[in-house]
Amino acid sequence: MTDRDTTDSTVTHATFTLERAYAAPPARVFAAWSDPSAKGSWFAGPAHTYELDFRVGGTELNRGSLPDGTVMTFASVYHDIVPDRRVVYGSTLHGGEALATASLTTVEFEADGDGTRLILTEQGSYLDGHEKPEWREQGTGDWLDALGAYLAGTGEGAAG
């Protein structure tokens, strides 16, 4: 049991699926997802702390501050990895000490001609109004676009 005040506790459940087409083979897109240096360049913001231990049971941590000083911490644990095909991970997002979201994400990498069709499905529990599903979907779309820029070699970095 925690010391949390439960009088204002709410939960919103939501699932979204995003798709992107990249002009790179699945092995290259998967490598951009699984290599700590590569992923850090498109996923983490410039002033963020970023760590990735990409293996089943491994963890990922992305921490940065909002303009008001609130520390945002996105932490994941990898549950399933099929090289060049699929990744499944569970994540939490904290704003300061408050748990905002707990989610399960599946990322599929499908060959599409010479390129890749990436399909990301996230199932989330959004807690106590700290985050909204549409905010998460927008942010996830932004970093999938940053992955596309990275793969295209434009040198554009993380989306926030």
- State pLDDT tens for residues 99-141: 999 999 999 999 999 999 999 999 999 999 888 999 999 999 9
Q: Alpha-carbon distance 138 to 18, whole Å?
A: 10
In the predicted structure, residue 144 carries a pLDDT above the cut 80: yes
Domain count, the chain: 1
Which CATH number do you get for residue 67? 3.30.530.20
Range of the domain at 22: 11-152
* Short-list 152, 132, 129, CA closest to 140: 132
Please give the DSSP secondary-structure letter assigned to residue 55.
S
Name the residue among 101, 134, 106 with its Cα closest to residue 120: 106
What is the CA angle 89-92-95, rounded to 5?
155
Model pTM score = 0.88
- Answer whether residue 122 is part of any domain: yes
Q: Could you list the beta-strand ranges (E) of the chain.
A: 11-22, 49-52, 59-65, 71-82, 86-95, 98-112, 115-127
